Amino acid sequence: MRRRFHHATVTPRRIARPQRGPANQPTNRVANRVAISIVELLVALAIIGLLMALLVPAISQVRLLAQRTRCVNNLRNISFGLTQFDHLHKRLPASGTYFDPDNQPSEPRHSWAVSILPWINQGNLYDQWDLEQAFNSPHNFPLTQTSIPIYQCPLDPSLSGGSHGDQSYAVNGGVGFTHRTREGVADCPIDREGKQIDFNGDGLTCTGTTTDQLDQQLFKRMGLFFLENWKQGQTKRHYSIAEIIDGTSQTFLVSENIRTGFNPDQLNHSFADPHPRRSAFYIGSPCENGDCTAASVNYQLCNQGLNRINGGLTSPEGSSPVPNSLHEGGVNMAYADGHVAFLSESIDGAVYAALASSQGLLLDKTSLQQVIIDGDFF
């Protein structure tokens, strides 16, 4: 029996097309859909812009924090090198070493930064150094151009970015340094500006045939690192950490100073330079016009004017031997016990001087008597 098949009638589906207006243009309904998409895009872009505005400063802050952390770690490593030198030699290194033969020009040998090279993973560099020659001699000069990251704070804008022996740190030189010969007198104490200081207030400084021994004694008590003569014995002035009686946690060891190190105008300046204004930092002298009688001693002068912390940020390299950094409000400072702390640039001058002194307690009952810092300072 033959089956019959019934064919269903298929009705074609009608596809909706956008309605067109005059001149074959889309109607408002389609146009509105396009407009909404543009608004959504603009909102998304605005949100992205807002997120970027929030994110970029955060990234900058993280980068800045990392740079500050590196500056602090550098200070810790330098402190380690100085204390290891002290452990081996039973004394701290000279801030700068000179060879001063009789009746001949003084010859700069090297700074503290050369002395501690073996303890900051630079033993190979130290082994190549000839300590019997000047730091800028034909043999030593190429070595001074070595870039040593531990000696460079990444926030130091004066870093050359190349192999020029950059440096961003300086040791505690107290209130000044000694001049080889001043008015015919050897080993004369002067402040950072070159003024003679009458520490005991007796009216005598570098006059006659010898310096005032008490002046030199008081001068030494107010600092920690000093210039010395290489193997001559004319100037033996140094401390060991064990001789610090003011407390190692309350005595400056080394500070940031972005105004030291390589100078593009003086290519031989580097971390190895023993010049007192490039190897150490100094506080201001408390003695007005070099007079340390009781009426003329003002410890507030120690952190004022050119001597104030961060007072030389725009000075040429080597011309501002004070703590200088681009950290807002102060500098990082390492102390003789190895700890590092932030030091406010507005610190009281008397407290500042007491922290720079290694034996300030022995100044008691003199015109230079200092404040006593208790353990709550930090």
The pLDDT tens digits of the residues spanning 106-159 come to 789 999 999 999 999 999 999 999 999 999 999 999 999 999 999 999 988 888
Q: Which residue has the higher pLDDT, 183 or 196?
A: 196
Q: Which amino acid is at 121?
A: N
- Residue 37: the pLDDT is 77
- Residue 223: the pLDDT is 97
Cα–Cα distance, 239 to 261 (Å, whole number):
24
For the residues 96-105, what does the mean pLDDT come to? 78
**Rounded to two decimals, what is the model's pTM?**
0.82
pLDDT band at 311, cuts 50/70/90? Answer: very high
* Coil/strand/helix, residue 291: strand
Are 266 and 286 in contact, with CB atoms under 8 Å apart? no
pLDDT band at 100, cuts 50/70/90? Answer: confident
Are 286 and 294 in contact, with CB atoms under 8 Å apart? no
Q: Which amino acid is at 341?
A: A
Pick from 174, 194, 180: which is nearest to 289 by CA?
Answer: 194
Q: Is 108 exposed, middle or buried (0-12, 13-18, 19+ CB in 10 A)?
A: buried
Is pLDDT at 190 greater than 60 in this prediction?
A: yes
β-strand 340-344 against 330-335: which pairing, if any?
antiparallel
Give tens-digit pLDDT for 51-87.
877 777 766 666 777 778 999 999 999 999 999 999 9
Query: Could you give the C-alpha distances from 212 to 24, 91, 219, 365, in angstroms and in order?
Result: 107, 25, 11, 19
Give tens-digit pLDDT for 249-261.
999 999 999 998 7
Q: How does DSSP classify residue 324?
A: B
Q: Which residue has the higher pLDDT, 47 or 329?
A: 329
Q: Which residue has the higher pLDDT, 296 or 19?
A: 296
pLDDT band at 3, cuts 50/70/90? Answer: very low
Pick from 97, 354, 337: which is nearest to 222 by CA?
Answer: 354
228-258: b (≥16 Cβ within 10 Å) or e: bbbeeeebebbbebeebebbbbbbbbbbbbb
Judged by average pLDDT, the poorest of 169-183, 275-289, 326-340 is: 169-183
pLDDT band at 236, cuts 50/70/90? Answer: confident
Are 289 and 296 in contact, with CB atoms under 8 Å apart? yes
| Average per-residue pLDDT for the chain | 86
- Listed by start position, the domains of the chain span 58-377
